Structure 1
Amino acid sequence: MITITTENVTQLYNVTATQEFTISPAEFHNNSSVHQMDEYKCINPDTWKWLQTFQPGFLWIIFILGTIENAFVLIVLYFHKSRCSVAEIYLANMAFADLMLVCSLPFWAINISNGFQWPFGLFLCKAVNTINYMNSYSSIYFLTLVSIDRYLALVKTMSLGRMRRTACAKWNSLIIWMCALLICSPTMVFRNLQYFKEYNITACSLDYPTPYWHPANNCLLNAVGFMIPLCIITYCTTQIIKALQSNKSQKLKLIQTERKATLLVLAVLLLFVICWLPFQISTLIDTVCYLAGNLKCLEDINDIVTQMAIYCAFSNSCLNPILYVIVGKHFQKKAVELFKDLIPQRCRKSESVKIENSQDTLRTSISSEHLRKKSVLPLSQ
C-alpha cells in the first residue's frame, strides 16, 4: 500500500477538500506524478502535513460546540410560549443551517484522519458536500432577509407591513432553501467516489465534465453567494443606522423597541462578514490563478490560505449563538422564561417556601434582638 507523504498531501487534499474551490480531479490525473520537495519554493512543504494533523481536532471542536449552541438556540425559539418574530424566524433558519453544517464536519474529520480514504459511501459523499455548500448560500441570504426586515421595521415603518408577516417570512425561508439546493445541484451531480491508483485510496472528489466548471463555480460563489447579498445588506444597514440616529426616530416608542433587535442583527452581520470575507477573497484569487495559469507561487500560497479561510468560515457556525446570548436581549429573556417554565411547579413552590421561612427566621431574630436591647438599655442608665 502506498503511504501518503508530505509531498503528495497537497494534491490529495485539493481533490478531496470540503468545498469545490481547488483543482479538479481531471488535473489530478493529468499531473499524477508526486510533487517534489523543490517545487515548494514559496511555502514550507511541512505546512500541509501540519494542516492534516491539526484539522481533525479543530473540526471535532467546531462540531461539539456548534451542535450544543445551535440546538440550544432552536430549542429556545421553538419551545417558547410566544410566537417568533420575523427576524427570529430567519435567525432560526440560519441556526438550522449552521447545525446541519457542523453535523457534517465529523465525516470530514474522519476522512482526513483516514488518509483521505472515504469510508461512508456514495450517498454521504454527495450529501455531506451538498450540506457544506448550501450553508454558504443559505446563511448569507437569511441574513439578507433579516436586514430587509430591519429596514422595513425602522425605515419603512408605515408601509410594506405585509412583508413583515410571519407567514410571508416562512414562505421566504422555503424559497431560500429551494434556491440554495438548486445552486448546489452541480455538487450532487459531480461529487463521486474515485479510486486513485497512485495512492491506493477511494476518495470523495469532484469530477467536473470540463475544466471551465471550476472558474464558473468560483464566480458564482463570489457574485451570487457574496457580492449581491452584501450590496443589499450594506444599503439596508446604512439606512438603518441613519434611522436610528435621527431625532424623529428616537422619539418613537416603536423605534426604541426595535433598536434592541436591530443591534443583534448588526452584530451577526458584522461577524458573518469577518468570518467569510477571507474565504471569498481566497476564492477570487483561486479564479485568477486558474485563468492566468502562470502564477504557481501565488497558487501554492493561496491553497494554504484557502484551507485556513474555510475553517474561519466554519467557526461562524458556533459563534453566532454566543452573540444571541451576549447581545440579544429578547433572546436572553426568552431563554430565562423557558428555563423557568421547565422547572417543575413543586420545586419552585418549595424554593419559595424555603425563602419565606428563611426571611421569617431572619425577621424573628432581628425583632428578638431589638427587644433584648430595649430591655437592657434602661438598666444601664
Structure 2
Amino acid sequence: MRITFTQPKLMEQLSPVTAASVWPENSSVFPTFDPSEWEMIYTILPPYIFTISLLGLLFNGFVLAVFAAHRDQLTVPEIYLSNLALADFLLLCGLPFWGMYILNRFNWSYGEALCKLVNSMIAINFYTSSYTLVMISVDRYLALVKTMKARWLRRTLYAKVICFILWLLGVLLSMPIIVHRKVKFAEEFNTTSCVLDYAHGSYWKLAHQIIINVVGFVLPVLAIVFSSWNIIKTLAQRMESGGFHDANNTKATVLVYAVTLLFLLCWAPFQIFTLLDTLCDVKVLDETLWFHTLNIGGQVSAYLGFLNSTLNPLLYIFSGQYFRRKVSIIYRRARHQRRGSDMTTYQRSVVSTYFNRTEQIKPVVIFNPKDQM
C-alpha cells in the first residue's frame, strides 16, 4: 500500500495498512501526484473510521454480552461466533488511533509501544477472524457431512482450545508488524510517524505480503470452499433421496454462508491490491503505471475491509435464529425480574402501611358495670 506526498518512499510507509509498499530508493522516476486527492482522504477517512468504530464496538459489544449471558449453554458454532465477535471488537478498538493519525496528517503522538500494539492488534484480529471463519465452516461440515463419525470432535472444550490456538497463530503471523513498526521522525515533512521500517533490500516486506495473500486469504478461502461444496452436495443428495431434513441446520448453514460471503466481499479488494503491489515489487508489473491506482485503491480497499467487523454483528442479529432466541430469553428474564422487583416493592409498602396503622390504633377501654361491683 502506498501513501505518497512528495517523496513516495516515506509516505507509503506511513499507511495504516500492513501491506505497505516501499518505492525503490534508487529510482529516479517519481509518478505525478494530485495533492487534492489526499486532501479528500484527510477529510473523508477520519469520520468514516470513527463512525464504523463506534457502531462496530456497540454491535459487537451487544453480541458478546448476549453470548456471555449464556456462556454455560453455548454450542460449538456459538463459541466460534463469539470468538469472531471478540476479534472484530478488538480490531475496532485500534482503528480510532488511525483515525486521529490521519486527521493529524500522519503525526503519531502516542509513543512507540502503542504504535506496535495498535498495528499488531489489527493484524492479529484479521488473521484470527479469517481462521475462525474456517473453523465455523469446518464445524458445519462435520455437523452435516460427517454427522456420526465426527460427533466426538464437536465438543465445546475442543472449540475453546481451538480458539486459543487461533489467537496464538494470529500473534505468530503478525510478527512482521510487531518487529518492524516503529516511531520515526521524518525531517522532510517535520512529522513523527508510526512507520513500517523495512531495511533496504530486506525480504521481510515481500514475505509479509505473501503471508497476507496466501496464509491470510487464499488458504482460508480454499478450506471454506471445500467445506461449503461438500455441505451443498450432501444437502442436495438428502433432498433428492427424501431423507431427513433439519430446517434448523439449514438456517445455521445459511448464516455461516452469509458471514463468509461478507468477509470475501469486504476483504477481496484489499487482497487484490496487495497482490498487485507484490507484483510491482518483483517487477512483473510496471510500478510507474500502477502507482496511482495502488495509492488510492489500496487505501479505499483497506477501510472497506475494516467495515466487515462492523457488519458481522448485524448478520447474527437479523439472520441468526438461535441468537434472536437468546436475546428474547434475556429480555423475558429481565422483564420477569423487573416485575418481581415491582411486586416486592408493593408488598413492602402494604406491610409498612399495616404496621403504621397498627401503631396509630389507640387502646379503647370499655366500661363494664360488673367491675364496679
* Fold match (TM-score > 0.5): yes
Using the TM superposition, give the Cα deviation of residue 167 of structure 1 relative to its aligned residue in structure 2, in angstroms. 0.3
Is this contact kept in 2: 1:52–1:112, CA < 8 A? yes
**Percent identity among equivalent residues?**
38
Is this contact kept in 1: 2:46–2:99, CA < 8 A? yes
Q: What TM-score do you get using the length of structure 1 for normalisation?
A: 0.82
- Root-mean-square deviation (CA, aligned residues, Å) is 2.4
Taking the aligned partners of 2:7 and 2:36, their CA distance within structure 1 comes to 10
Using the TM superposition, give the Cα deviation of residue 202 of structure 1 relative to its aligned residue in structure 2, in angstroms. 0.9
How do 1:17-96 and structure 2 match up within 5 A?
A: 17-24=15-22, 27=23, 39-40=31-32, 44-80=34-70, 83-96=73-86
Pair 1:137 & 2:127 matched: yes
Is this contact kept in 2: 1:97–1:135, CA < 8 A? yes
How do 1:1-381 and structure 2 match up within 5 A?
A: 7-8=5-6, 13-24=11-22, 27=23, 39-40=31-32, 44-80=34-70, 83-209=73-199, 210-247=201-238, 251-252=243-244, 255-292=246-283, 294-343=286-335, 345-347=337-339
Change (3 A) 1:294 1:257: closer
Give the letter for the 1:167 counterpart.
L
Using the TM superposition, give the Cα deviation of residue 9 of structure 1 relative to its aligned residue in structure 2, in angstroms. 8.7
Structure 2: which 5+ residue stretches go unaligned?
A: 344-373
Using the TM superposition, give the Cα deviation of residue 237 of structure 1 relative to its aligned residue in structure 2, in angstroms. 0.3
Change (3 A) 1:34 1:327: same
Q: Encode CA deviations 1:310-356: one digit per residue, 9 max, x unaligned.
A: 011000001001111111111111111112222353437979xxxxx
Query: Bigger shift: 116-125 or 6-15?
Result: 6-15
Using the TM superposition, give the Cα deviation of residue 48 of structure 1 relative to its aligned residue in structure 2, in angstroms. 2.1
Change (3 A) 1:58 1:10: farther
Give the letter for the 1:313 counterpart.
G
Taking the aligned partners of 1:61 and 1:47, their CA distance within structure 2 comes to 21
Deviating beyond 6 angstroms after TM superposition, the runs of 4 or more aligned structure 1 residues are 28-31, 348-351
Taking the aligned partners of 2:306 and 2:133, their CA distance within structure 1 comes to 16
Taking the aligned partners of 1:189 and 1:346, their CA distance within structure 2 comes to 53
Give the letter for the 1:257 counterpart.
N
Is this contact kept in 1: 2:145–2:234, CA < 8 A? yes
Using the TM superposition, give the Cα deviation of residue 136 of structure 1 relative to its aligned residue in structure 2, in angstroms. 1.9
Larger-Rg structure: 2
Q: Secondary structure at the match of 1:193?
A: strand
Give the letter for the 1:184 counterpart.
S
Taking the aligned partners of 2:51 and 2:248, their CA distance within structure 1 comes to 37
Pairs aligned (count): 337
Taking the aligned partners of 1:81 and 1:213, their CA distance within structure 2 comes to 41
Structure 1: which 5+ residue stretches go unaligned?
A: 1-5, 352-381
Q: Encode CA deviations 1:22-47: one digit per residue, 9 max, x unaligned.
A: 224xx58777x996xxx32xx75422
Q: Encode CA deviations 1:38-61: one digit per residue, 9 max, x unaligned.
A: x32xx7542222112111000000
Taking the aligned partners of 2:166 and 2:129, their CA distance within structure 1 comes to 9
Q: Secondary structure at the match of 1:263?
A: helix
